[in-house]
Structure formats: C-alpha cells, structure tokens
A and B are shown apart, each in its own frame.
Chain A
C-alpha cells in the first residue's frame, strides 16, 4: 500500500530523467509519450503502490518539478 504520492509539475519539468534514475522503488518512468508545454519528455508516476514518499525524487529534481505527499495516518484529523 503506497505511503504517499508524487505530483509532477509539467511546466517546470525538463525531462532530465533524474527522478527515474534515483527513485529507489522505480516508481517513475519516462514513457516517451507525454510532452511538457516546452516539448520535454515528461515522466509518469507508474508503480504507484511502491511509493514510500521518501522525497528523493524531489531532492534530485533540479527543476523543482516534483511535489511529494505523504499520506497522514487513517485517523488523522482532517485539517
């Protein structure tokens, strides 16, 4: 069960592939069929249930194109 999820900010992404390279769970793949507004090859959040919201993809993204969210606990109060 995924501990979190990532959101890719298409307009910032430059298709460098570091997220795909450094994700320890191989949750990110550049499938080659999605393009950013500037024409860069966009990564896709595949393998989603493996994501443990470690944040590595966001660290290593040089273009601030990834936000990582960790799921709060079941009973966590709704803010």
Chain B
C-alpha cells in the first residue's frame, strides 16, 4: 500500500486504527458505516488482530469494556441508532475509567431518521446518554486525512486519560473518497497499564485486579477511598481534559467581523463561501471546533471581545448553537443556517456554499 492513495472516509478509520496499534474491533452492521466493519473483517484477522461481529451494539460496547479491562486498544463504530444502544455501556466505561474509541458516523434522526448524512447527534454525544453525568472526549474530523490522523489521536487521548473517546464523523465524510497519506503519528509515551486484568500471577505485584463500575464498593484500581472522593477525582480528570485538550481551527479570523462556527462537512462548505466573501471584501472567518468536548468556549469568547458577530452552520435543527450561546452569553448576535436550509427537502439534501454565502452577504 503506497502511502498516498484515494481512500474513502470510512476506510480511513481502519488504516488510522491500524497505525494506532488497535488490537481489536467489535462492531455491528448499520448504514452509513458498514465499510468500517467490512474493512476490519478483511484486514485484521490476517494481521493476527481481533475482529468480532457482535449480535448488537449493546454487545459491542461491552466487548470494548472487556478488551479495555484486559489492557488492549479496542474500538467499535456505529451510526446514530446504534449510539442509543451503547449508552449503558458508555456509563460503565466512564466509571471503570476504561480507554476505548467509538466512531460514530452520524445519519439522519431521530429513530430510523435517514440513512444519509446529518449532524443530529451533537448533543447526544457531547452531553452523553448514559446515567451519571460522565464525559466523553469528542473529536470531529472534516477530511479523510483528519479521520485517519484523529483515529490515532483518539487512541492516544483514550489511554492518556483512561476514558472513552468518540470520533464523530457523518454520512458525507464516511462515503466521500479523498487523497490520504497513510502514516503513523508519534505521541508522548504513556505509562504501562498495570491496572489491567491480565491474570493475577501475571501482574508484577501478584495481586488480583478487580475492575468494576461500583465505585462505592471496593475501591477501583485508582484507590479512591469512597464514592464521593471518587467522584471528586472524576471531576478533576474532566477539568484536566478541559484545561489541556481543547482543539480548534481558526481560518481567516484575525480581522473577522463575522465568525462562522461549523464542524464536520459543513465547515468545508463554509470555507468555500468564506473564500468567495473575502474576495468580495467581506471580513469573515471560520472557527471550526475540532474537540466538541471539551468545547472551545474561550476561543469564541475572545472573538466576542473583538466585537464579532456569529453565524452557526450545522446540519441539524440547531444543537452546537447551544454551546455557542454558552460561549457568547448573549453579548452579541448569533445567526443560524441549519438542516432546513438544505438545497433539497429530501434526506439527500445538503447545506451548500451558495446558501451560506447568501447569509454571509446578508449579515456582513
């Protein structure tokens, strides 16, 4: 496989995971992400790595729990309806502090919704669905190359914070093919997973591991003496992630009066509209959140201080806009282009550059 080739977004998930040293994939068929398990089915076994097609997404997430508990790099991929089925497992993974990666290729919702693209799971993913108010790190790629690279970043962050990481793709990014440079990225070394369950006598200290999701019982491996102190520790971990892991791209924002806020495929649509608007002399830029949690509130607040106004573009009825409101706190105007602005009223419709440009001209 030369290292530069034309690759579909979903397939790039596989090459990225492979280069991240992923040990096992556990998944279930669901459109529009089927190319992912299909890739793992053909590429993993021959490399001595594990691929299992499970009986449901509920099964897949609890397989991630097992693989992670045993100290391996494990992942699954699904789409919006499957996201609902894995919520109990996500809550358990957060409590047991087990690292794993979940690729979510968003499709139209709710319910069966549509098997095509959309961005209607933003709140479900960033606010998390299982009980207890835990947090997942959420990364949002906008290109096939970013899907590949962020798979490696996802596994790194998952191990670094011993926490699940979500890679939030969508039906467009998953199925579009672009040039991809397949490469292995380097990250800072991480400590051994001595907490993992590998068999009592295989542990250095020959003492057993007990990994569970009941913090007020016997203290979990990270030895918090009781339930409340354990929750305090979890809170500190999330603050640590907020303080250190926010990622965001700013495009032509330095002198911008209007800032467009978008992630995923719509962010590329906005860049094209912004380029045209800039050519017409309008001072408009793009702020693209790459980590949806932790969300780049500070970046947006700085823009508010510069007197900027905002235009949020997302392929839903408006979800990320809530975080923009949180950042802006009513101190300036926020306009919105959403799913109702698609070029077709069908599930195949998309938000196109022309519509965004029309709105920029109105606002600028």
Q: Determine whether A and B are in direct contact in the complex, meaning some CB atoms lie less than 8 angstroms apart.
A: no
Which B residues are closer than 8 A to A by beta carbons? Answer: none
